[in-house]
Amino acid sequence: MGWSRKGESMELDGRVKGLAETVGADFCGVADLSPAQKAISAQGGAAIAGFPRAVSVGIALLHPVVDQLPRRADRAVAMAYRHHAYDVVNQRLDHIASRLSGLLQREGYGALPVPASQTVDDDRLCGLFSHKMAAHLAGLGWIGKSCLLVTPEVGPRVRWATVLTDAPLKMTGQRMDERCSTCQQCVEICPPHAFTGQPFREGEPREARFAAHRCEAYFAEMEETTDFAVCGLCLYVCPYGSKQGRK
């Protein structure tokens, strides 16, 4: 009986990954959430922290859209970035998460899709669950000095969604060590100087690295003069996502 369950679990792992790729995910991994239970509970509450695993899915952004960001004052550039890097990709991610959740539920497991982009706490400016943390725990990348998840393949040029689940899926990798070294490009390019330049350390509050309210105020200031306020310069400048750095 034990062997049968293991075989079924291995089959389910393949079906989850296969479905994610079929419906458009460029990245897919499984995270064991136990090392981060305290942080998960503090952000999303006991119900969210009750899920032991997460399926992390990501979609790589279109490089020609990101590469235009230094000209984001041009309304056409800003519109393209907002549309293709946020609106369309978020909808695609939510669709993937919904499909995966349906698969897991049909197999008899609990599955909760977390929206790709949703702020539920206006004071802390955070969502119900950290997609970047799930991707990091799944071995898909590391948390950079910009607080973005940096992948070896395309840097931080990825958007993420998560499915929380109790399905017995196998963890896909180990947490990657930070590879930013002495690089400060994302820190130096940030218009509102929202980053401190400190590397990610587990258990340390986000405020040690990122002043989220500075970023929010900068966007509010931009929106006073344009209806398509975008930035993304920290994402654009990362050497791992540049044409020379990406694989």
Contact 153, 238 (CB under 8 A): no
Residue 113 backbone zone (phi > 0: left; psi -120 to 50: alpha; other: beta): beta
Residue ranges, the chain, pLDDT below 50: 1-7, 125
For residue 225, what pLDDT is reported?
Answer: 82
Q: Using a CB cutoff of 8 Å and minimum separation of 24, what contacts does 176-181 make?
A: 176/136, 176/139, 176/140, 176/141, 176/142, 176/152, 177/142, 178/142, 178/143, 178/144, 179/142, 179/150, 179/152, 179/240, 180/142, 180/144, 180/145, 180/150
For residue 245, what pLDDT is reported?
Answer: 66
The pairing of strands 27-32 and 142-143 is unpaired
For residue 243, what pLDDT is reported?
Answer: 75
Mention every residue, 6+ apart, whose C-beta is less than 8 A from residue 162: 54, 55, 56, 57, 97, 113, 114, 129, 131, 134
Query: What residues does each domain of the chain span?
Result: 2-237
In three-state form (DSSP H/G/I as H, E/B as E, the rest C), the secondary structure along the chain is CHHHHHHHHHHHHHHHHHHHHHCCCCEEEEEECHHHHHHHHHHHCHHHHCCCEEEEEEEECCHHHHCCHHHCCCHHHHHHHHHHHHHHHHHHHHHHHHHHHHHHHHCCCCEEEECCCCCCECCCCECCCCHHHHHHHCCCCEECCCCCEEECCCECCEEEEEEEECCCCCCCCCCCCCCCCCCCHHHHHCCCCCECCCCCCCCCCHHHCECHHHHHHHHHHHHCCCCCCCCCHHHHHCCCCCCCCCC
